[in-house]
Structure 1
Amino acid sequence: MLKIILVVILLSAHVDLGTSMAVPGARIFGGSTTAEGDWPFMAYIYVVKAGHPNKHICGGSLISNRWVLSATHCFETPDRNLYRVRLGEYSGSVTSPNEQNFSVLRLVLHQSFDPLAFLFDIALIKLSRAATFNQYVRPVNLVRAGRCDDPSPNFPVDACYTLGWGKTSVGGGTSDTLKKVRSYIIIHDACNEITVANSTKYGGRTVERCQAKFCGTYDAGEDTCEGDSGGPLVCRHSDNQYYVHGILSYGTTPCGQNLPGIYTSVAVCRGWITRNMRL
């Protein structure tokens, strides 16, 4: 198994993180196209200026009819009035009758978010009204609560994906349509060794064995980058349902360096999610 994991690491392409801050980014390039309705839990988060849509900043996951899960670093300011959420989005250039647009009633940023180490890079968005569930808008499951030192889960090939509308090449533009990239969760010790050995490329950030973040890697020639941050790493479980395991947080600068992307662990943060959704 260790040999298989090491081969996956060597063949992987890496991440740069999508954010409105001056930090490493995450964009999907070399990934696969999706069809409208394939991933009905995906949320398209954008900012508004003078009352008009301005630009897409991050992705997110619909986890109930009122709540979306994303990353704290996506929000330069905690002013909820600056942000909007679109569900049922597929193409940024084509308005679809399947889209549902929302203002933000509450924006919950993790109180322990560390902008240097990017610990607890997780946020909750409460929508201004309840989403209407249908073929194109439907929530995703959350992985069960776990400890930071739990063994990394093992999934077969084609079980896990990261999704987003981020940039499709280094220095290029964002994707007009939602894209996916096959993802693999890396064991804790290997993640630590990789980030320590390449700390400069990660802006000095490392992933220690017991932290609320983990490494995810991709097939050769595929990656995530700017604009994909806040989006989920989802895995298909034995019940044939998808569960969110990670929230895309950061990676190397530039991306595409055959190094993993770094994700906030939903399992470790599950208690925080549950508590804040009750408020």
Structure 2
Amino acid sequence: MIHPLGRFVLPPDNVGDNYPKPGWSSVAIGWGCTSWNDCQTQTLQEANLPILHANIPPCTQHMIYPPGQICAGNFKCVAGTCKGDSGGPLMIQNANYRWEVIGITSCDDKCTQSDMPGIYTRVSLYNDFIRSTIAQSNYDPRFRSFLFSSSSTFTHNRSIINICVSIFVLIYYFV
């Protein structure tokens, strides 16, 4: 039984690229398109996706840095992430029925085509960064949002990750 989405849990630290294991079930959610030409959804969508081994095609064709990415998809049906889902979570449910955010939707060229998996940024590589960003924030529970300091300087990649994490935390962590 899948329990309602509540507070998320970061994946364990220093797990390497064998976590999550290929074959584990994951869930990607987002408000993106449901097909390449249909972007009118107003409902949060969910796709159940098995974790795929990074060494199989087509994962090998689409992953740029396998230790920092997760490949997930279902070759038997056309369910997956699409344009507009970028920055959304890829999650697994752990033994305590808590949702672990293991990935961030990063690219999906072919939008729900059964032969194309989704590629997700591996969150465990950024656990320290996520924790420090949350710790440095000016979170005020009355407003249920984060107010990030504009004086911080990040590299381009960290800025993108900061934005994705900020949006994700706003939507999923405190709702």
Among candidates 85, 89, 99, match of residue 228 of structure 1: 85
Task: Show the 5 A alignment for 1:44-63.
Answer: none
TM-score (norm 1): 0.42
Structure 1 residue 263: Cα displacement: 0.5
Which has the bigger relative contact order, CA under 8 A and spacing at least 6?
Answer: 1
Report what 1:171 is aligned to: 37
Is the contact between residue 168 and residue 175 of structure 1 (CA under 8 Å) also seen in structure 2? yes
Structure 1 residue 141: Cα displacement: 1.4
Q: Aligned pair 1:250/2:114, yes or no?
A: no
Report what 1:145 is aligned to: 13
Report what 1:274 is aligned to: 131
Query: Considering only aligned residues, what root-mean-square deviation do their CA atoms show, in Å?
Result: 2.5
Task: Show the 5 A alignment for 1:1-279.
Answer: 38-39=4-5, 138-153=6-21, 159-190=25-56, 193-196=57-60, 198=61, 206-210=63-67, 212-218=68-74, 219-253=76-110, 255-256=112-113, 258-279=115-136
Structure 1 residue 248: Cα displacement: 0.5
The percentage of aligned residue pairs carrying the same residue is 23
Report what 2:170 is aligned to: none
Aligned residues: 133
TM-score (norm 2): 0.64
> Per residue, is there more helix in 1 or in 2?
2
Structure number with greater Rg is 1
Aligned AA (2:69) = K
Is the contact between residue 32 and residue 81 of structure 2 (CA under 8 Å) also seen in structure 1? yes
Is the contact between residue 29 and residue 90 of structure 2 (CA under 8 Å) also seen in structure 1? yes
Deviations for 1:8-63, whole angstroms, at most 9, x for unmatched residues?
Answer: xxxxxxxxxxxxxxxxxxxxxxxxxxxxx943xxxxxxxxxxxxxxxxxxxxxxxx
Compared CA separation, residues 222 and 150, structure 1 to 2 (3 A): closer
Structure 1 residue 222: Cα displacement: 1.3
Is the contact between residue 216 and residue 262 of structure 1 (CA under 8 Å) also seen in structure 2? yes
Structure 1: 5+ residue stretches without partners? 1-36, 40-137
